[in-house]
Amino acid sequence: MELLDRKNAFKGITIKPADILLLAVAMIWGASYGLTKEALYFYPVLGFITIRFSLTFLLLTPFLLSELKQGKKTQCLAALPLGIILLIIFLLESFGVTYTSASNAAFLISLCVLFTPFVEWGVLKVKPDNNIFILAIFSMFGAWLLMFDVNYVFNIGDLLILSAALMRAFMVSYTKRYTLNHDLSSIALTGIQSLVVAIGAGTLFFCLYSDESTTLPNSLTFWGNTAFLVVFCTIFAFFAQNYAVKQSTPSKVSFLMGTEPVFGALFASLWLGEVLSNNAIIGGGIIVFSCFLSTQLPLFSKQTAV
């Protein structure tokens, strides 16, 4: 009888393919900070961004051309500002991770989850639920613990990553506004954004560096990391996330994706040899827990008119 009760207790627990895919994306994106940091040992930030998004654009070109053949030139042009926002995000993230640890970057970028309701309040005039304010303060305390150490001082890298998290919130909000007014496939939109990032970063790179600095690296580590970031962190993650959203609930999707910083810290510790202090572990846990709680609350109050 006791054995039967135990069996029945597990009947309601199911693991769907969408859940596995989301965890895979969280693992991949968590690893991206460490891989980016390692790739930047071989090539300047601007050059790395140019290469990564040029390759991404080439892979997505067929999807973009398909949209253009359907007469969606206006929608494509309207997406250019989103590409500029993405360029700013990757400049901040890539420069930021060179000055701070990959584990710190993974945790701090997760604050985007809590920044987003506030930014959306300003962009789309939708007031956040009052509990979000409490969680924001709680998560900021976690961020302080994460970076607190006897010999540690808040540095420019942490500031850049925090700025990138804020810009991610702007990206989500303005993308939502864009999709309300334009009919363009998400993968084509990603292709346009990749093109803008590649052109913007490439222009800055060739303006700021000498001809000798533009020589492509011959390191297998650099090209292996870059290929992983292009194929898995962009292409695979795009398809997996969109598939999962259709198969699961938004709250569950957000929660599973919220495990990204955990995998980021683990990867940085195992792959890069970064040592996590007790404060870092506790602070990172507070941030992740705050993000999880935010997915369980109604993000917006019933009084949406502002």
| pLDDT tens per residue across span 238-273 | 667 656 655 654 445 555 566 677 777 777 777 767
Q: What is the pLDDT of residue 88?
A: 95
Query: What letter would DSSP give residue 267?
Result: H
| pLDDT tens per residue across span 117-158 | 788 788 878 777 777 777 777 777 777 776 665 455 668 888
Share of the chain above pLDDT 70, in %: 77
What is the rounded distance in angstroms from the CA atom of residue 174 to the CA atom of residue 238?
Answer: 18
Higher pLDDT: 175 or 50? It is 50
Query: What letter would DSSP give residue 233?
Result: I
What is the rounded distance in angstroms from the CA atom of residue 305 to the CA atom of residue 208?
Answer: 47
**Rg (the chain; Cα; Å):** 20
Give the residue from 145, 46, 44 showing the smallest Cα distance to 104: 145
Distances (CA, A) of 85 to 94, 111, 172, 191, 193: 14, 18, 10, 14, 9
Distances (CA, A) of 265 to 27, 206, 298: 10, 33, 29
Q: What is the pLDDT of residue 105?
A: 78
Q: What is the pLDDT of residue 211?
A: 65
Higher pLDDT: 13 or 181? It is 181
Please give the span between the terminal C-alpha atoms of the chain, in angstroms, as a whole number.
58
Least confident of 38-52, 187-201, 239-253, 285-299: 239-253
Helix 186-208 and helix 80-99: axis angle, to 10°?
60
Q: What is the pLDDT of residue 197?
A: 92
